[in-house]
Amino acid sequence: MKKLLLTAALAVAATGAALAQKFEYKVITSVESIVPMGIGRSMLVENKQEVDISKLSRDREDGKSQQGNVKRKDARVEEITETKLLNFYSGVGINFQNIASNDAIITAKINELGNDGWELAFIASGVESDAGDGDGKGIFITRYIFKKQVK
């Protein structure tokens, strides 16, 4: 009976410790151009500085927003890392070698972060595509969200 109670107590303690874990998060964004002829810009972008979210957030009261008091320069980060990616399109259409090259670059970044203790937690992606004749613009954007346990 004592062993059963001890085992139960340890299980509860372990569960409580697991639930009390704290994490920090990091977002890496890939922007891959779907503009033909290599005119677009494609990058893997990583923020390198801390942001105080409380300085950028405002509460609404009586339906009135104070968000206008937050200046763009206050929301802008200056310290970033940009890693060159290749455009999806070349002069003759989809360039599969460029796509494979981007996969290799993104994989290298994911592996680098994994080696630094970051775990890939979520991926979110979207497309703003060509709107028809004469547009020729668009991007494929993916956000890679990593987490690391705070010790």
Question: Given this model, what pLDDT does residue 136 score?
Answer: 66
Cα(30)–Cα(34) distance, rounded to whole angstroms?
13
pTM over 0.85: no
What ranges do the domains of the chain cover? 20-52+72-149
Mean pLDDT value of segment 141-151: 95
- pLDDT digit string, tens, across residues 15-61: 665 667 899 999 999 999 887 776 778 999 999 988 888 877 777 77
Percent of the chain at pLDDT exceeding 90: 44
Cα(112)–Cα(25) distance, rounded to whole angstroms?
15
Kindly list the distances between the CA atom of residue 146 and the CA atoms of 31, 58, 119, 120, in Å, as whole numbers in the listed order.
17, 27, 5, 4
CA 63 to chain centre: 32
With a cut of 90, say whether residue 90 has pLDDT above it. Answer: no
Mean pLDDT value of segment 77-96: 89
